[in-house]
Structure 1
Amino acid sequence: MTEKNTNQASDMKKKQDAQQEVDGLGRRKFIKNTGLVLGGVIGGSLFGGLITNNLKSEPASTDTNEENDGKDARIFFNRKEDFDVLKAAVERIYPEDDNGPGAIWLGVPYFIDRQLAGEFGQNGKDYMQGPFKDIHNTERYQSRLNRGDMMLEGLRAMNQVSLKKHDKRFHEIEGEQQDEILKAFEEGKEKMRGASSKSFFQLLRQMTIEGAYADPLYGGNRDMMGWKMREFPGPRPAYINDIESEEFVKQDPISLKDYQP
């Protein structure tokens, strides 16, 4: 082999080695970036809706006399009166007692506010076109109104019933009087626009319970007190250290937020 050929072969070998190094770096970078993307999908999926809603929606009120710790602000409810009716109603459904705090302390009104401000309140994943029929004895959503509109219509209807019967707004009357109105809505005896009062009450009760027991990540269940009252440990990944224990193991609850860096 001549000296010229030897030099050409050496140069070609260096180019191949350099290209392999570049390819290796490219693959490693791709794998790293893919891992970041997947991690973002897994971790970010928990926060995506909340972050998007917070960025797109301006708080409707930051009244300092409302029951919040400064972190909460209304997003969906533009009228304070609607929110006052909501607070009074959920507190009657989930009241404070000897077992622990009620719906207002747990942040249930703000949980409902945040949920209605997002895709859930807009029925974003539901088929909402006609025809509409009266279907009874079904748990399926049956209304031309989305959940946000149904909630507003129902709260305002309860307020009108209260004004008619007691000459006071719903959140101003006595608890027993509030219970009578709620019971009438639960039984579908009151009229409201776009949906039955029974359907509205079912939505209100469902969201009240969800707000009391959902992960605090979603805005309710403040300080995990809903879980603590039921001694629920939260979303733990494993019980390998306790599964063989012969004694009952009581664990303090943890939230999904505790898994975030």
Structure 2
Amino acid sequence: MTDENKQGQSNGISRREFLKNSGLVVGGVVGGGLLGGIFTQNFGGTADAPDTVDEETETDSPEQLTQARMFFKRQEDFDVLSAAVERIFPEDDAGPGAISLAIPYFIDKQLAGEYGFNSREYMEGPFYEGAPTQGPQTGLLRRGAFLYGIRMMQNIAENEYDESFFDLEPEVQDEILEQFEEGEVEMTGIMSDEFFQMFRMATLEGAYSDPVYGGNLNMDGWRQIQYPGSQMAYIDVIEEEEFVDMDPVSLHDHHE
């Protein structure tokens, strides 16, 4: 959906090669962002507080047991979220997409916790427009911004195409997301391009964070880019001259 994907496809560069070359996993996605916390208040006092759990998946896999909603109460909102992240991180020849990697559940859990409440950030006014490097300067909590943005996607789909966002053709979904990316959607409390950047980053973090946080199901995101995960040591391979493809290890594996 993004220009990066389009450019990568047109230049014959796979998503895996782009991510490996950019150093995204080491320096950006895994290094920070959503990994700070998992649980705590409310989307500005609305009724959409996290108190429901859907028993949609029952398996013995620790990763799959995390697939229960904690924040999104409305199925429609979750379905829009799922469709949107799949367009940002679609399944292709390099590997599974956002839905297969459980990224919607990752985002849901983050919004239910400290990330969603901006609990480690100063959130008192007054709020002024900041420099691009400062990010959104708003009193709107992330959980509120996500819910707002997702419902705006649905409103645009219904008003302009008379269908739900998740029922639209992928190309049309891309067009709506590009409106957000270009800052063309009128939003209150946050610019639509600021929301899109936050939404896109959350999607990438769900693909490459440790599975204990709810995404990167079965560590397939790591396998796409041959990232070894939380290895205890590299003493057996550190002197190898050639790249060693190691089976990834999750933080969960260290507690078994």
Please state which band the TM-score falls in when normalised by the shorter chain: 0.7 to 0.9
- Is structure 2 residue 55 aligned with structure 1 residue 62? yes
What is the CA–CA distance in structure 2 between the aligned matches of 1:157 and 1:247, rounded to whole Å? Answer: 49
Look up the match of 2:70: 75
SS of corresponding position for 2:111: helix
Counting only pairs closer than 5 Å after superposition, residues 1-261 of structure 1 correspond to structure 2 as 50=38, 58-63=51-56, 71-261=66-256
What is the CA–CA distance in structure 1 between the aligned matches of 2:124 and 2:101, rounded to whole Å? Answer: 36
Rg larger in structure:
1
Structure number with higher helix proportion: 1
What is the CA–CA distance in structure 1 between the aligned matches of 2:205 and 2:250, rounded to whole Å? Answer: 15
Q: Number of paired residues?
A: 209
4+ residue segments displaced more than 4 Å = 47-50, 68-71
What is the one-letter code of the residue matched to 1:184? Q
SS of corresponding position for 2:174: helix
- Larger deviation: 207-216 or 245-254? 245-254
For each residue in 1:197-233, what CA deviation from the matched residue of structure 2 results, as whole angstroms up to 9, or x when unmatched? 1111111101000000000010000010000010011
What is the one-letter code of the residue matched to 1:59? T
What is the CA–CA distance in structure 1 between the aligned matches of 2:197 and 2:242, rounded to whole Å? Answer: 40
What is the CA–CA distance in structure 1 between the aligned matches of 2:212 and 2:117, rounded to whole Å? Answer: 20
Question: Is the 8 Å Cα contact of residues 37 and 110 (structure 2) preserved in structure 1?
Answer: no
For each residue in 1:13-37, what CA deviation from the matched residue of structure 2 results, as whole angstroms up to 9, or x when unmatched? xxxxxxxxxxxxxxxxxxxxxxxxx
Greater RCO, 1 or 2 (C-alpha within 8 Å, sep 6+): 2
For each residue in 1:70-121, what CA deviation from the matched residue of structure 2 results, as whole angstroms up to 9, or x when unmatched? 6511100011111110000000000000111100000000000000000110
What is the one-letter code of the residue matched to 2:194? S
Per-residue deviation, 1:136: 4.0
What is the CA–CA distance in structure 2 between the aligned matches of 1:69 and 1:242, rounded to whole Å? Answer: 31
The percent identity for this pair of structures is: 50
RMSD: 2.3
SS of corresponding position for 2:99: helix
What is the one-letter code of the residue matched to 1:61? D
Q: 1:89 to 1:48 in 2, by over 3 A?
A: closer
Query: When the two structures are superposed, what TM-score results if normalisation uses the length of structure 1?
Result: 0.74
What is the one-letter code of the residue matched to 1:235? S
Where in structure 2 are there 5+ consecutive unaligned residues?
A: 1-34, 41-48, 58-62
Q: 1:80 to 1:92 in 2, by over 3 A?
A: same
For each residue in 1:151-209, what CA deviation from the matched residue of structure 2 results, as whole angstroms up to 9, or x when unmatched? 00000111111111101111111111100010010111001232111111111101000
For each residue in 1:108-142, what CA deviation from the matched residue of structure 2 results, as whole angstroms up to 9, or x when unmatched? 00000000000110000111111111224224342
Look up the match of 1:18: none
What is the CA–CA distance in structure 2 between the aligned matches of 1:63 and 1:244, rounded to whole Å? Answer: 46
